Amino acid sequence: MERGEKPATEPGGWLPDVAGSDRTDRIVCHVDMDCFYAACERRREPALRDEPLVVGMGYEPGTDRGAVATASYEARTLGIESAQAISVALEELPNREEHVLTDTGDDAEAYHGETGFYRPVDMTYYQSVSEQVRQILHDAADIVREVSIDEAYLDVTDRVGWDGTGNRPTAEAFARDLTDRIAREAGVPASIGVAPNMSAAKIASDHDKPDGLVVVPPGEVRAFLDPLPVEAVHGVGPVRARTLRELGVTTAGELATADPDVLGERFGERGRDLYERARGVDDRPVTPKGNPKSLNRESAFAGATDDAGRCREVIGGLASEVAARATNESALYRTIGIKVVSPPFEISTRARSLSGPVRDASVLKRVALDLFEEFEGTRLRKLGVRVSNLEFNGADQSSLGNWKGSRTDDFEDRESTGEADRTPENPISAGQASLADFER
């Protein structure tokens, strides 16, 4: 391999030329579940329907711990927002004699709600519902990209027509059928946006939630986007919105007619993207989701602690969990990192790369603890462990890279002997390398 040349199996590396990537007549569908976690809870507990419902994690009655993951629309009208502290959210719920299930399954004495409910996140269950939805989507479209547990893009160019000519259903009929089917078979509501590209489809699905169905045909994209606030454009959060406001840009239409050079100056590469998205231009092809780029586990203390022993314990626990996930995903990692958050909310990260990919829980743990040393005794509220620079082997390798062939079955759970390690520049094996790295 020439130096600098990326191995072809590199996750997130180049993709083969995907037919249709630069077509302007694509039909892209964005499916977005409405309040997915809350909808799942209602599916198995119908009494929660039409009630204000807060789903959160980490809540401990009487503390500020825990944040809202999803609030039902009924709860939102009461002022409850996602990411809000649960203690605050519960105060917004009207009172009645009713119990609230806590994360530990006990009734919380701290709260007697009225027509308001709290349920702890149950990811395993939501995953199972998500899987049902996933199967429906794959049945409905040839190309599906799952973005998250409750969101996916579909390229339905070959199955749907804008105007319904030929034997194809119209975009609207297709989307209507799809939401009906998801509701019927998976038991959860969805909103759908259809447009000529991913960005516009995403904005469309968001436009009329819940239970929305918005179709934006090719000729109408600009007219649809222009009046929307810039925040509607994917990639514009609070920080960029403020910067844009300083430039006099508050709507997507204004962003679309802003000076692209100025945007490039302020936002770098992203500026160009935002500009194009606001103009309704987005050539990214819908591609199936590849392998993850990093795996990470983090956890917050109730309050903050400067107890180094306790922190080391947590780091060790998180490291084991990350290692287990890596095994689960057949991932090898070359970079190990930690994240520490100190009050009020200062985030620091540290990372170290090994000379070869490994999958070794003890190395992971030791490197993580080693990186943590510099923070020992510091007051911390949160800790995290992460692995990145991942490589995959085995049958779960998705779509790309398998053709490289040679390195599929020569290692199991043992440490990697990845190809990269056998190059002339680096003849040592990954196992040796990782230990040498650690001791240095």
Residues classed as catalytic: 151
Handedness of CA 106, 111, 115, 116 (dihedral sign): negative
Closest contact distance (angstroms) between CB of 297 and DNA is 4
According to CB under 7 A, which one of 151, 155, 282, 421 is a site residue for DNA?
Answer: 151
Q: What gap in Å lies between CA 195 and CA 216, rounded to an integer?
A: 5
Tokens of 161: 């027509």
According to CB under 7 A, which one of 309, 344, 405, 427 is a site residue for DNA?
Answer: 344
DSSP-derived secondary structure for 228-263: SBGGGSTT--HHHHHHHHHTT--BHHHHHTS-HHHH
Is 283 one of the binding residues for DNA (CB under 7 A)?
A: no
- Cβ closer to DNA: 66 or 196? 66
* Stretch touching DNA by CB under 7 A, among 65-73, 105-113, 156-164, 280-288: 65-73
According to CB under 7 A, which one of 62, 94, 227, 268 is a site residue for DNA?
Answer: 268
Furthest-apart CA atoms within the chain: distance in Å: 72
According to CB under 7 A, which one of 78, 85, 101, 308 is a site residue for DNA?
Answer: 85
Closest contact distance (angstroms) between CB of 165 and DNA is 33
- Cβ closer to DNA: 27 or 385? 385
Residue with tokens 């119209």: 170
Closest CA to 378 of 314, 301, 307: 307
- Cβ closer to DNA: 26 or 297? 297
According to CB under 7 A, which one of 52, 61, 66, 116 is a site residue for DNA?
Answer: 66
Taking CA atoms, 317 is separated from 140, 215, 314, 358, 414, in Å, by 41, 47, 5, 19, 21
Q: Which parts of 386-405 interact with DNA (CB under 7 A)?
A: 389
According to CB under 7 A, which one of 46, 166, 219, 238 is a site residue for DNA?
Answer: 238
According to CB under 7 A, which one of 220, 298, 307, 419 is a site residue for DNA?
Answer: 298
Q: Give the β-pairing of 53-57 and 117-120.
A: parallel
Is 237 one of the binding residues for DNA (CB under 7 A)?
A: yes
**Please, what's the b/e burial string for 302-333 (b: 16 or more CB within 10 A of its CB; e: otherwise)?**
eebbeeeeebbebbbebbbbbbeebeebbbbb
- Cβ closer to DNA: 172 or 329? 329
32 and 206 Cβ atoms separated by less than 8 Å = yes
Q: What gap in Å lies between CA 346 and CA 73, rounded to an integer?
A: 32
- Show the site string, 400-429: x = touches DNA by CB under 7 A, - = not: ------------------------------
- Cβ closer to DNA: 172 or 206? 206
Q: What gap in Å lies between CA 316 and CA 125, rounded to an integer?
A: 27
Q: Which parts of 152-191 interact with DNA (CB under 7 A)?
A: none
Taking CA atoms, 337 is separated from 150, 291, 292, in Å, by 28, 19, 16
Is 328 one of the binding residues for DNA (CB under 7 A)?
A: no
Which residues contact DNA (rule: CB under 7 A)? Answer: 3-4, 6, 12, 57-58, 64-67, 69, 81-85, 88, 147-151, 202, 206, 231, 234-241, 268-270, 292-300, 325, 334-335, 337, 344-345, 347-353, 381-382, 384, 389
